[in-house]
Structure 1
Amino acid sequence: MLLTIDVGNTQTVLGLFEPGPGPAGSGTRLLHTWRVATVAHRTADELALLLSELFGLQGLDVREAVTGVAVASVVPRLRSALREMADRWYRVPTVIVEPGIKTGMPILYDNPREVGADRIADAVAAFDRYGGPTIVVDFGTATTFEVVSAKGEYLGGVILPGVEISLEALFSRAALLPRVELVEPTSVLAKNTVESVQSGALYGFAAQVDGLCRRLKDEVGPATVVATGGLAGLIGPVTEAVDHHEPWLTLDGLRLIYGRNRPE
């Protein structure tokens, strides 16, 4: 089975795919997913121990189950540690999304090396599912927008502060504002401080997504909008622009990229 690992600045998401019987991995199923905090100083041995424990929760032996590994990491130190982990503990084919990897998607960025591996994986998966033009909105540590052309080219995107770090900045600088749970309030027009913050966060970021998608569509034409990332399930439904919610889009992109580099 294929283990996919998406290392973000705040969280790391892992997925285990069971290959399907058809050609090019058709029928592949995502069997299990895990979400853990990203700890940049973890060693290869610590990562192997973490995986062993996560697999054990599902009654699996990681060394018997995993036949391949695909990694996207925005944390260089962990990228190296994961490479060492796969080589030392599992000795299975490993694909790390980095310059030189076959993605099947032309990157029309001024400097393609600047595009994060997770952004490329998102774009590859979205185009595979919905064609183009497509806009991917990924709600992570940063909120990123990826734009894919009708021909399957990565055209570029937008990066802005993510929801959680924006709220963290607000709470740290405004002494009288309480930390609140990020849930949908009873109405946009709030009657207390807690719901005022919730309304501003939820509907404010939704309006931000709608506004940016509208401007992007003005430049590239009609496009399908796909939301992914940890808070996509909360914010996506209250936007006007989002057409589809794909919580494991990045993992699916890693699966596709792995297949393009390890076709066997």
Structure 2
Amino acid sequence: MLLAIDAGNTNIKFALVNDDGTPRSRWRIATDARRTADEYAVWLIRLIELEGLTREVVTDVAISTVVPRALYNIQSLALKYFGVEALVAGRAPLEYGIALDVDEPRSVGSDRACNAIAAHAGHPGDLIVISFGTATTIDHVDFSGAYKGGIIAPGLNLSLDALVAAAAKLPRIAIEAPATDTVIGRTTESQMLIGIYWGYVAMIEGLVSRMKAEIGRPVQVIATGGLAALFQQHSHLFDSVDADLTLKGLSLLWRRSVKAPM
């Protein structure tokens, strides 16, 4: 069974992947580049056992990472505790196999490339892929599956952290959907929540609208990332939401590169 690992700036996601490419079990841990292979193993092997499995079910490991400093310890985890050499997205034999039609292809994050692979495999035509993470990325994947570029904006939590850190009297608030659609808050907390939440909705609406106009063809909007569900109730923003998009793309990339095609 494939162990797919998606190392982001905030969290590292681990998933055991079924033969059909869908994640069977998923876990996440806060990203800490100092965390050792042994620390990962104590946590992960116990979680695998709680699923009624043993670590021997892991026969392959594939990694997508945007945190270079975390890579060595994750590779060490694969070798020491699962007895396999981990394969890394973007490196042979896990080269992306899609056109990165941008000025600096080497700078494209492996998470965005994996998202493009999975989105194109699951949806026809031109796509806009929105990933809510430490940064919010909005990417164009064209009808051929080529990655055409996109937008990077501060993530929701990053924006809120910056606001609270810079304004001494503002409290830390939980990020959630406001109870009403009003945009005139009557308390400091409600005004902050409106600014963060509805401000983000407005940003997404505006950027997606401009991107669609620039593409000039029918487009579907696919959302992923930990905070995608927060905006899912505003169904007009997205055509679909897939929390496992990056992991699915990594699994599909591994199958295309190493295994027989599904």
| Interval containing the TM-score (normalised by the shorter chain) | over 0.9
Name the residue aligned to 2:54: 61
Structure 2 counterparts to residues 77-96 of structure 1, below 5 A? 77-92=69-84, 94-96=86-88
Structure 2 counterparts to residues 156-195 of structure 1, below 5 A? 156-187=149-180, 188-189=182-183, 190-195=185-190
CA distance in 1, matches of 2:38, 2:132: 30
- Corresponding residue pairs, total: 256
Q: What one-letter code is carried by the residue in structure 1 that aligns with 2:65? A: S
Identify the match of residue 245 of structure 2 among 227, 246, 249.
249
Identify the match of residue 260 of structure 1 among 253, 256, 260.
256
Query: Please, what TM-score do these two structures have when normalized by structure 2?
Result: 0.92
Deviations 1:85-112 (A, max 9, x none): 2223222363211344332311112121
Structure 2 counterparts to residues 1-264 of structure 1, below 5 A? 1-20=1-20, 28-62=21-55, 64-92=56-84, 94-100=86-92, 101-187=94-180, 188-189=182-183, 190-221=185-216, 222-238=218-234, 240-264=236-260
Deviations 1:143-189 (A, max 9, x none): 01121111111101110110001000001111221111111222233
CA distance in 2, matches of 1:214, 1:45: 47
CA distance in 2, matches of 1:47, 1:35: 11
CA distance in 1, matches of 2:211, 2:195: 23
Q: Is the 8 A contact 1:99 1:113 kept in 2?
A: no
Q: What one-letter code is carried by the residue in structure 1 that aligns with 2:72? A: S
Structure 2 spans left out of the alignment, 5+ residues: none
Deviations 1:18-60 (A, max 9, x none): 113xxxxxxx442111121111111223222232122123232
CA distance in 1, matches of 2:100, 2:255: 19
Shift of 1:254: 0.6
CA distance in 2, matches of 1:45, 1:98: 26
Q: What one-letter code is carried by the residue in structure 1 that aligns with 2:39? A: E
CA distance in 2, matches of 1:109, 1:84: 33
Over the residues paired in the alignment, what is the CA RMSD in angstroms?
Answer: 1.6
Identical-pair percentage = 39
Which consecutive segments of 4 or more residues in structure 1 shift more than 4 A? none
- Give secondary structure in 2 for the equivalent of 1:39: coil
CA gap of 1:58–1:120, structure 2 versus 1, over 3 A, is: same
